[in-house]
Amino acid sequence: MVDFVRSHATVVVRGNHDHAVGFNEDPRCSPPYREMAKETMQFTRSVLSRDQIEYLASLPLVVERIVEDTKFVLCHAAPSDPLYKYVPANSLQWEQEMNLVSADCLLVGHTHSPFVQPAGVSMVVNPGSLGQPKTGATKACYAVWENGAVLRSAAYDLERTLGKIDRMPVSVEVRESLKAVLRTGGRLS
């Protein structure tokens, strides 16, 4: 997947899991996800090349781009803490975060929950997650920019993905937890 992103994406920012793999550090996940993150990070580091790991470590934390007169700022979590800050949808904190950047649109993703929300004269867009939903739905979420953000979701072959998880060399508990996240749309008990 790293090579696919490298050859197809024009802009990529480093998220907490990219950072964890790139620097062999704790991704600082919430308690229900800690053991999954630890074991999957070890697995990921074992299957990536040194070059791929260095690529993840080299990704920028914040990127600015202007596309057709719209200024975008991209970061994984929030401008005040691009890797780890957790700001949910509808939080008034987005107004403060927008004061830290000059953009028409701030693109974020850390919460894995899709939303489009005004913040002052700008907007914050979180497309959600393709691989680890936290929405209660099993579809992959993404956003498309067409004169403004449009949130979308798509079904995918869940059983095929669950089969791949079954073959991962991680503990049975982590495999079952990963599959539960996908089956329930991230609703862990």
Neighbours of 48 (CB within 10 A): 18
pLDDT in tens, 66-100: 998 999 999 999 999 999 999 999 999 999 999 99
Q: How would residue 188 be classed by pLDDT, with cut points 50, 70 and 90?
A: low
Task: Give the whole-angstrom CA distance, residue 153 versus residue 60.
Answer: 27
pLDDT in tens, 108-148: 999 999 999 999 889 999 999 987 888 888 899 999 998 88
What sign does the dihedral 7-12-17-19 (CA atoms) show? positive
Amino acid at the residue 40? T
CATH topology of domain 62-129: Purple Acid Phosphatase; chain A, domain 2 (3.60.21)
Amino acid at the residue 98? M
Q: How would residue 189 be classed by pLDDT, with cut points 50, 70 and 90?
A: low
- Can you give the residue ranges of every domain in the chain? 62-129
Task: Give the whole-angstrom CA distance, residue 18 versus residue 9.
Answer: 15
- Write the burial class of residue 110 (CB in 10 Å: 0-12 exposed, 13-18 middle, 19+ buried): buried
